[in-house]
C-alpha cells in the first residue's frame, strides 16, 4: 500500500486486536509482535500479528534475528513479505511513550517506504505512530487506533425481519396550546369519562412526568383517551389575562 503524510488513523482487525491484548497480559514485562499491514479507507490496517522468539525484561524486549528471518521465509512462501510493516510492543507497567531504544528498533525494522508502530501497556493505554522513509523521512505520532469491525451485510435481512415482526401504531399528537394560555398543574387529574381541563404542551407534560407530578398511568390516559383535547377557556379573569 501507499502511505502519505496525511495519515489520520490506524486500524486493527479483530484477530490482531485479540492477539495483541492476550500476549500483552500474558507477559509480566515487555513483549514484541510483528504485524501485517493492508490499506483500509486510505489508512494502514494491522490485519494479523506474529510472535517470534525473543528475550524480554520489565523494561526491554529483544526479538531474535533468527525468529524474524523464519517469519520472513514463511511470509515469502505466502506472498505476504511486503505486508510485514507493523511493530507492536508492550511497556508492561510503564507509560506509553517512545524511548530511544524504540526509535532505534523502528529504524532497523523499517528501512524503506513506511512502518506502523504501536505501544501499549497493562493499563490499556495505546499510542501509535507511522514512520515514512521515502521520499522524505517523516514521523506521524499519536495517530488514533480503532478496531475495524467486519461488515456482515445484514442491513437488508434486518429490514425484512423488521417489516415482518414490527407493527408501528399511529403516533398520537396532543393539540398545541395557544401561547397566551396557562395551565394549572393541580387540575390535570382526569375524572372517569371526563376531559382534561387546562392548557399545556408536550414539553410541559413530559416535564411533569419526569418530576413525578404526573403518574405514568395518568400520562398514558391523556395520550390514549385525550389525543384531541377540548380546552376550556379559564373563567377567572386574572388567569384569562395571564396573571396568577
* DSSP-assigned letters across all residues of 154-218: -HHHHHHHHHHH---PPPP-PPPPPTT----GGG-PPPTT----S---HHHHHHHHHHTSS-HHH
Domain residue extents for the chain: 10-147, 185-240
> Strands 126-132 and 138-141: what pairing?
antiparallel
- pLDDT given for residue 224 in this prediction: 62
- pLDDT given for residue 243 in this prediction: 42
Residues lower than pLDDT 70 in the chain: 1-5, 171-202, 222-244
Cell numbers describing residue 186: 393541580
- pLDDT given for residue 237 in this prediction: 46
- pLDDT given for residue 201 in this prediction: 63
How far apart, in Å, are the Cα atoms of 215 and each of 35, 207, 228? 59, 11, 20
The span from the CA of 199 to the CA of 177, in Å, is 6
How far apart, in Å, are the Cα atoms of 29 and each of 56, 60, 119, 142? 7, 8, 13, 23
- pLDDT given for residue 190 in this prediction: 44
Q: Among 122, 119, 121, which Cα is nearest to 105's?
A: 119
E strands, the chain, are: 10-12, 31-40, 43-50, 54-56, 61-63, 84-90, 114-120, 126-132, 138-141, 145-147
- pLDDT given for residue 227 in this prediction: 52
What tens digit of pLDDT does each residue of 174-215 get?
544 444 444 444 444 444 444 444 455 667 777 777 787 777
CATH superfamily of 10-147: Cytidine Deaminase, domain 2 (3.40.140.10)
- pLDDT given for residue 2 in this prediction: 58
Residue 87, judged by CB atoms within 10 A of its CB (0-12, 13-18, 19+), counts as buried
The span from the CA of 59 to the CA of 94, in Å, is 8
The span from the CA of 189 to the CA of 58, in Å, is 70
Cell 524480554 locates to 56
Amino acid at each position: 500500500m501507499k502511505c502519505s503524510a496525511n495519515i489520520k488513523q490506524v486500524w486493527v482487525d479483530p484477530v490482531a486486536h485479540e492477539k495483541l491484548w492476550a500476549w500483552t497480559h500474558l507477559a509480566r514485562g515487555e513483549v514484541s509482535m510483528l504485524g501485517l499491514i493492508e490499506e483500509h479507507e486510505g489508512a494502514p490496517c494491522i490485519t494479523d500479528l506474529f510472535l517470534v522468539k525473543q528475550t524480554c525484561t520489565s523494561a526491554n524486549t529483544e526479538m531474535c534475528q533468527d525468529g524474524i528471518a523464519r517469519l520472513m521465509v514463511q511470509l515469502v512462501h505466502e506472498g505476504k513479505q511486503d505486508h510485514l510493516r507493523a511493530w507492536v510492543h508492550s511497556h508492561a507497567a510503564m507509560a506509553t511513550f517512545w524511548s530511544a531504544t524504540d526509535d532505534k528498533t523502528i529504524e532497523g525494522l523499517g528501512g524503506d517506504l513506511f512502518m506502523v508502530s504501536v505501544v501499549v501497556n497493562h493499563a490499556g493505554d495505546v499510542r501509535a505512530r507511522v514512520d515514512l522513509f521515502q521520499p522524505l523521512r517523516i514521523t506521524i505520532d499519536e495517530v488514533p487506533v480503532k478496531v475495524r469491525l467486519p461488515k456482515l451485510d445484514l442491513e437488508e435481512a434486518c429490514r425484512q425481519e423488521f417489516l415482518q415482526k414490527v407493527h408501528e401504531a399511529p403516533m398520537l399528537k396532543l393539540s398545541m396550546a395557544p401561547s397566551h394560555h396557562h395551565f394549572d398543574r393541580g387540575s390535570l387529574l382526569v375524572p372517569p369519562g371526563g376531559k382534561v381541563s387546562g392548557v399545556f404542551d408536550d414539553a410541559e407534560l413530559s416535564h411533569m412526568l419526569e418530576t413525578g407530578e404526573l403518574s405514568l398511568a395518568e400520562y398514558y390516559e391523556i395520550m390514549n383517551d385525550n389525543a384531541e383535547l377540548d380546552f376550556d377557556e379559564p373563567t377567572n379573569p386574572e388567569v384569562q389575562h395571564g396573571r396568577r
